[in-house]
Structure 1
């Protein structure tokens, strides 16, 4: 088996050329607040690429769990921006649960810049995806469970495009500093399709 060189995996800060090329590892912000926004942008890009590839490949099953992880991480990072903006924290800040983070954000005024309908939609979105992102773990580990049951027994399939579109709208509302058009509003009820109906991708 050919073993690639390990000498050029990453480079320390310097002014020289990097053999084999590379991309900047820094987030590029001038302060922590800008870095938090920039990592949201990176996960927006990652989620979009994953969903586009899943839809184009004809075999999106290979990407369902990475998509779930990217959605969870995108929303967690977006909520970190929202909470920081209003100088608030969730009760269990060290944990990855999204519902308590979005409720803390809403309670502390992070959504005061939008209508009550949009604020409530954001809370409902997080409550809708929480049962299948499960603190981000189903996207990382095969045996993640919710209430004793593996994810595969709770959900049949996901709709990658609907999840992506809803996550983008949630992010744009939660992080108004981003100057991106999220496109048409997404119906939260389209995020999951019924297990007994037509499905896009199996979990």
Structure 2
């Protein structure tokens, strides 16, 4: 019978599991109090500094409801760029999303993003197991505005999330961080025209 080593098990897991295990190993190797504390305080770290990391994001635009907006994620100059064109003659939204391992945000209270904005309003969007009449509920929070064209680290607190389905508010929906299986960024600000948001990383750290 073939026995699997710890390394075999680590690389057989999901990307999120691999990231967590690799951070733990690095913490042990460094053996410094500060480095270990920083790593343990982060429920999730999602750097977007490689084309492989950006390729895990996929577009969901208003074409799903007959709209004409376009948009998607691309890798450019060491980070992710979410860009496209909003057309309000229809759905009027564009988004990029990626799957995450449920349980990863169990102890999290918010998300921190390192972004460079164009001044338009963007939101973080997350999916859990919550549904209404068979449709998944979207939990969204506004990404705090920053000076257009300048990098800024901003935080979206989970207490500020609003529940909706296709932009329509849902009352009484409860957000469960432990159930988050998808994280995304969406623009639906009611304005026609091009948009461009640069993102270096997304994290959830205490």
- Is this a same-fold pair by TM over 0.5? no
Q: Which has the higher contact order (CA 8 A, sep 6+)?
A: 2
Q: Classify the TM-score, shorter chain.
A: under 0.3
- By percentage of residues, which structure has more strand? 2
- By percentage of residues, which structure has more helix? 1
Normalising by structure 2, what TM-score? 0.26
Normalising by structure 1, what TM-score? 0.26
